[in-house]
């Protein structure tokens, strides 16, 4: 249509040809840009819809056909979008079961958005715990199958245990904090976590799944986590999960110490202190959501 108009102008009015020719080209470019923008917006909306669809089935995963059906997309279109989301880490894919799950990158983004609120809320508690125990206190949260340290306060003991820095990720089950995040979870979920991290445990002193299971069972009996050299030889710790008013584990506080100092009385004393500090700020849990 644009070409016919331009030719018509060239024949009838030669002097105005440049003006009308440019006008037609600009109109064509504008229409093309609008079309491109619409296609881009549509792709983004489809991707978001698929992420939401996958989230509904995240515990057991969802197959491609079901995800496509839920968002009313052709299977080929859904597959193409999910492949890109998987490449970027927003969607996970299990090749054996052919099911999709939420990706670690989504958890990471959520963590960045909310970890500062949790850290600010529990920072005073960490400081009091570190002062009273003279040991280093840690605040950790769950990130997929990992624990992520989001804050740390050093104690005054001559030998201070600092196995990791703020921002360090370790497999769930390793260390008192990582153990505190999982020992209250259902058996099925714990087994899934342990299986997923099995190879990575070899990088730490927790060199096999049985040691993690034994630590979980002991922690359940005590109602607080005790890490006996699971992270580094000679290093231990005590931890407790932070549970919100909905019963969800949102974080954990732990204290690191030389393993030789953690006799039963010392472990119980540290656990009681951590529990008291958690309860002290429990009224503010409505402000924290992960």
Which residue from 134, 69, 142, 65 is spatially nearest to 110, judged by alpha carbons? 142
Note the pLDDT of residue 3: 40
First to last CA, the chain: 55
Q: Residue 237 corresponds to which tokens in the numbers above?
A: 């710790």
* Residue 184 neighbours by CB distance under 10 Å: 17
Note the pLDDT of residue 24: 41
DSSP the chain: -HHHHHHHHHHH-GGGHHHHHHHHHHHHHHHHHHHHHHHHHHHHHHHHHHHHHHHHTTTT-B-HHHHHHHTT--HHHHHHHHHHHHHTTSEEEETTTTEEEE-HHHHHHHHHHHHHHHHHHHHHHHHHHHHHH-SEEEEEEEETTEEEEEEEE----SS----S-TT-EEETTSHHHHHHTTTTS-HHHHHHHHHHHHHHHTTSS--SHHHHHHHHHHHHHHTSEEEESSSSTTEEEEEEEEE-TTS-EEEEEEEEEEGGG--HHHHHHHHHHHHHHHHHTGGGGGG---
Q: Output Rg (C-alpha) for the chain, integer angstroms.
A: 28
Chain segment 45-102, per-residue pLDDT in tens: 999 999 999 988 876 789 999 999 999 999 999 999 999 999 988 898 888 788 998 8
Please tell me the total number of residues recorded for the chain in this structure.
Answer: 290
Share of the chain above pLDDT 70, in %: 76
In whole angstroms, give the CA distance from residue 91 to residue 64: 12
What are the chain's domains? 2-102 (1.10.10.10), 105-287 (3.30.450.40)
Note the pLDDT of residue 21: 41
* Contact indicator for 10, 17 with CB cutoff of 8 Å: yes
Note the pLDDT of residue 235: 81
pLDDT digits (tens), the chain, 290 positions: 444 343 344 444 444 444 444 344 444 444 555 555 666 788 899 999 999 999 888 767 899 999 999 999 999 999 999 999 999 888 988 887 889 988 877 766 766 666 677 888 899 999 999 999 999 999 999 888 888 888 899 888 766 666 677 888 889 998 899 999 999 999 999 999 999 888 888 887 655 688 889 999 999 999 999 988 766 777 889 999 999 888 889 899 999 888 788 899 999 999 999 999 999 888 665 544 43
In whole angstroms, give the CA distance from residue 213 to residue 198: 12
């Amino acid at each position: 249509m644009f070409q016919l108009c331009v030719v018509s102008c060239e024949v009838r009015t030669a002097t105005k040809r440049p003006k009308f020719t440019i006008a037609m080209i600009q109109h064509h470019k504008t229409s093309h840009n609008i079309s491109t923008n619409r296609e881009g917006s549509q792709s983004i909306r489809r991707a978001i819809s698929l992420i939401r669809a996958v989230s509904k089935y995240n515990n057991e995963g969802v197959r491609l056909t079901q995800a496509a059906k839920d968002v009313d997309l052709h299977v080929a279109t859904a597959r193409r979008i999910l492949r890109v989301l998987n490449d970027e880490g927003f969607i996970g894919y299990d090749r054996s079961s052919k099911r999709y799950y939420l990706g670690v990158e989504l958890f990471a983004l959520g963590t960045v958005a909310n970890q500062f609120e949790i850290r600010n809320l529990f920072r005073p508690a960490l400081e009091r715990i570190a002062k009273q125990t003279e040991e280093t206190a840690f605040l950790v949260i769950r990130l997929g199958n990992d624990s992520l340290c989001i804050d740390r306060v050093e104690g005054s003991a001559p030998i201070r245990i600092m196995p990791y820095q703020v921002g360090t990720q370790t497999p769930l089950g390793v260390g008192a904090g990582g153990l505190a995040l999982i020992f209250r979870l259902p058996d099925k979920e714990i087994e899934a976590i342990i299986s997923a991290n099995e190879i990575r445990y070899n990088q730490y002193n927790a060199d096999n799944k049985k040691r993690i299971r034994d630590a979980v069972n002991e922690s359940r009996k005590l109602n607080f986590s005790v890490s006996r050299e699971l992270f580094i030889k000679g290093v231990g710790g005590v931890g407790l999960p932070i549970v919100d008013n909905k019963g969800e584990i949102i974080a954990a506080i732990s204290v690191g110490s030389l393993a030789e100092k953690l006799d039963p009385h010392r472990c119980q004393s540290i656990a009681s202190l951590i529990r008291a500090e958690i309860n002290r700020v429990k009224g503010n849990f409505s402000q924290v959501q992960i």
